[in-house]
A and B are shown apart, each in its own frame.
Chain A
Amino acid sequence: MRIALFVTCLADTVFPQAAKATVRLLERLGHEVVFPAGQTCCGQMHVNTGYPGEAVPLVRRYARTFDPYDVVVAPSGSCVGSVRHQHAWVARRAGDERLASRAESVAARTYELSELLVDVLGVTDVGAYFPHRVTYHPTCHSLRSLRVGDRPARLLRAVRGLTLVELPAAEQCCGFGGTFAVKNADTSTAMLADKMRHVLSTGAEVCTAGDVSCLMHIGGGLSRLRAGVRTVHLAEILASTEEAV
C-alpha cells in the first residue's frame, strides 16, 4: 500500500526518531511510504490556544498536501485528533465551506499509527523485538478523541521480549495540554508528578505512548529527576527487530 506520512512538526523538529521508525516499520511490512513536500503543522497549537483564524492557512495547507493520497498516517494521536475533529470546524468558522468539505474528506483518510496498523493493514504482530519492561500511557487524544482503545496494547503484547506492565491511573492526563504546560505550568507539573509516580511504581524501564508531545512532557520530567526511565514512541518499539533494536 502507498502511505503518505504526515510527520507532524514536533516529530520532524525534535523527535525525528519516532518518524524514522514509522517509515522503517511500514517499509518492513512491505508498504511504500511517501513524504509529501510542503507539509508543516496541523495547526492544533493555534486552535487550542485561541487562534483558529491563524490556523486556517495550515488547515488549507494540510488538505491541499494530503488530498492526493488514499491513506495518510501520523505518529501522533493528538495531531490526527485535530485533523479529524477540528479542521472542518476551523474552516466553517472562517466561512469556507469548500475547505471544510475537503478537510473532512482528507480527515477520513488520516490515521494514527495504531489505527493504520490494526484497522487498515490488519496486523497486530509486526515482527518486532524489544526485550524491555514497558508501560504504556494512553494519551488523552488517542484515548478519547480517536478512541484507539486497546489497539496499542495489542500491538505491544505481540512484541517479542517485551514485558508490558499496566500503568496505574493510566487514563488520567499527564498534564501536557499544549500551551497549558506553560500557561498553567504549576498545575501541569502537579499532574506530571502524579503521572511519574505511577510510571515509577511499575518498575518499567521504558514508558511509551503514541504522542511525542506527551512523551516530551513525561520524559522531560523523568530526565529532570534522573529517574532512570526513558520515554520511547510506540513506533520506535514496533520498528525494533532482533537485527536492529
Chain B
Amino acid sequence: MTRTFLGMPATAPPGVGHLRGDEPFPAAARRALADPQLRRNLGHATGTIRGKSAAVIDEVPDWPQLRAAGAAIKADVMARLPDLLVQLEAAVTAAGGVVHWAPDAVEANRIVTGLVAATGADRVIKVKSMVTQEIGLNEALSAAGITPVETDLAELIVQLGEDRPSHILVPAIHRNRAEIREIFLRAMPGVDPGLTDEPAALAAAARRYLRQTFLSTPVAVSGANFAVAETGTLAVVESEGNGRMCLTLPRTLITVMGVEKVIPTWRDLEVFLQLLPRASTGERMNPYTSMWTGVTPGDGPQEFHLVLLDNGRSAVLADPVGRPALHCIRCSACLNVCPVYERTGGHAYGSVYPGPIGAVLSPQLTGVADNASLPYASTLCGACYDACPVMIDIPSILVHLRAEAPHPRAESTAMAAAAYTMDHPTLYAAAQRAARLSRLAGQRGRGLPPPLSGWTASRDLPDPPAQTFREWWAAR
C-alpha cells in the first residue's frame, strides 16, 4: 500500500456514487407505499424467492454448520484483512494481472476511466456488480465519453428505464413484465415493435441486443463475489451466462472489488458456493461460476486489472460491533424476508444497498450522520438475522448504530425525562395517573401532537383503565 492513514479511517466521500438518499427513509417510504403496483410486484417477488430458498435450504442437513463456517471464515478475514490483501496483490501480480488500490469512489472511478480510455474503447460491457453501482462508475464513464452497457438482464432493464436498482440480486424487482415490455419498446436499440410481455419473448429481445454488444466490445468491467488470496483467483457467480460472456470475450477485463471480498484459501470457496445460491436465488447451485487467475496467453482477456476499493470499509472494520456488516456476501436473503423492505422496496433506502443489510452497511460506509434515518428503518423483528447465511446479527448492529446516530433535541430531552421518571417509582406512579387523566380528556388519543399523531393516524389508543396494575395490587 502506498498510503498511510493516520487517525480514524475515512468514510465514503459525499458527492459521488449511490450510498446516500435525497430524503430520509420515512419520507421516501411514504411515497413508495402509495404505489399499489410496486406493493404487488414486491410482495409477489419476495414471496416467491422466500419459498424457493426455504425449500432448498431445508434439503441441506448441515446448513447451521455451513452458516457457522461462513461466519467464522469471514471473521478470520476481517481480523487479518491487510495481510490477506497484500497476499492477494502478490498472487494476482504473479499471474499477470495489475492491482490498483483505490481509497475511495473518486479514485476508483478515475482509475477505471483511465484504464478504459487507454484502450481507446468508447464502450464497455458490464457484469452485474454492486460495487460499481456504489461508486457511480457508470456516471463517471459516461462523463468521460465512454458508454457502459449493463449485460445482466435486470440491470439492463434498470439502465434502459433510466431507473435505479432496488434489490441487490434482482435490481428490477420493482418492475413487472408489462412494465419491462414498455421499457424495452421505448429504449432498446433495434427492438421488435411487436414485442409481447411473455418472459421468453422479453429474454429473447435482450439476447439479440446483447449478443451484438458482446461481440463488438473490447473491454469489460466486473465486480467480484470472492477473491482467493492464496491463488489470486477471482470468482463471479451468476445465473444468466452474460457475465461469462463479459469475462471471456473482451481483450481487457477490469474488476472492481470491495476489499472485504477476499477469502484466504481456495478451499474456503466450498463453504460460500454452497451458502450463496441457496440463500440468494433459491438454487442448489448457481448456473455459472466463473473463476480466473490473472491472464492466460491466447485464452480470454489478455489484460487484467484488479481495483481494490476501500470507500469507507476501513471505517467499518474499525468498529467491533458494526464490523460484521462486512461479512455480507450480497445474497439478499435479508431483503427477501424483511417486512419493511417487502412494503417499501429498495429505492426508499436511498442507497444501492437496501433492506436490512443496507440499513447497517450504508450508514457505516458514509458515516451515520449522513444516513441517520436508516438504522431506524426496521422493527427489529429479527427475520434478517435468521435468514443470513453468514449469521450477521443485523438487529444488534441496528441498535448499536441508533446509539451512534445524531438524535433530535426534543427526542433526547423526552427520553432523558422518561428514563428519570422510570427510575423514580413515585414519579412514575404520578406520571401514570397524569397520563390517564389526559387520556380521559381526549378522544381515544385522536388529535395528539406529533410525533404521537403518527400513531393515531391509523390506530386507536386503548381506553385508559380505571386502575393501574400497581394500584390494583396495593388495594388487593
Contact = CB atoms under 8 A, between A and B. Distances in A.
B429 to A, nearest CB: 9
A191 B343 contact: yes
B379 A20 contact: no
A143 B339 CA distance: 15
B379 A51 contact: no
A52 interface: yes
Interface in A1-24: 7, 9, 11-17, 19-20, 23
A122 B77 CA distance: 46
Contact of B454 (A38, A40, A183): A183
B189 to A, nearest CB: 39
Interface stretch (A95-103, A218-226, A237-245): A218-226
B403 interface: yes
B469 A19 contact: yes
A182 B470 contact: no
A186 B33 contact: yes
Interface class of chain A by DSSP: helix
B339 A7 contact: no
Contact of B376 (A9, A37, A93, A180): A180
Interface string A183-224: 111111111101000000000000000000000110111011
Interface string B126-155: 000000000000000000000000000000
B460 A223 contact: yes
Contacts of A162: none
B419 interface: yes
B300 interface: no
Interface stretch (B100-108, B215-223, B382-390): B382-390
B113 interface: no
B25 interface: yes
B340 A57 contact: no
Contact of B469 (A11, A37, A57): A11
Given A13-B435, A221-B458, A144 B381 contact: yes
Interface in A154-173: 171-173
Contact of B399 (A48, A54, A143): A48
A189 B458 contact: yes
Given A17-B465, A190-B33, A219-B462, A57 B378 contact: no
B121 to A, nearest CB: 44
Q: Which of A173, A179, A194, A223 has the most CB of B within 10 A?
A: A173
A27 to B, nearest CB: 11
Contacts of B415: 46, 49, 51, 54
A49 B415 CA distance: 9
Interface string A19-59: 11001000000000001011111010111111111110110
Given A40-B428, A185-B454, A58 B459 contact: no
A220 B462 CA distance: 7
B422 A40 contact: yes
Interface residues of A, number: 70
A192 B454 CA distance: 13
Contacts of B465: 14-17
Contacts of B340: 184, 187, 191
Interface string B414-434: 011011001101001000100
A16 B469 CA distance: 5
Contacts of B383: 140, 144, 171-173
A124 interface: no
Contact of A54 (B404, B416, B454): B416
A223 B422 CA distance: 29
B423 A187 contact: no
A61 interface: yes
B455 A181 contact: yes
Given A43-B422, A187-B29, A220-B460, A140 B382 contact: yes
Contact of A182 (B379, B418, B432, B452): B452
Contacts of B343: 187, 190-191, 194
B419 A224 contact: no
A50 B407 contact: yes
Contacts of A12: 432, 468-470
A16 B467 contact: yes
Interface in B356-380: 375-380
A15 B344 CA distance: 32
A187 B435 contact: no
B464 interface: yes
Given A14-B465, A15-B465, A180-B376, A186 B30 contact: yes
Contacts of A178: 379-380
Interface string B66-110: 000000000000000000000000000000000000000000000
B403 A51 contact: yes
Q: Which of B386, B455, B461 has the most CB of A within 10 A?
A: B455
B284 interface: no
A220 B407 CA distance: 28
A49 B402 contact: yes
Contacts of A37: 425
Given A39-B425, A49-B402, A221-B459, 15 more contacts: A12-B469, A13-B469, A15-B462, A48-B399, A50-B405, A52-B403, A141-B382, A143-B382, A182-B455, A183-B451, A187-B344, A189-B457, A189-B458, A220-B455, A223-B459
15 contacts: A9-B422, A14-B462, A14-B465, A19-B469, A35-B470, A48-B402, A52-B399, A54-B419, A140-B380, A177-B379, A182-B452, A182-B454, A183-B26, A190-B344, A224-B459
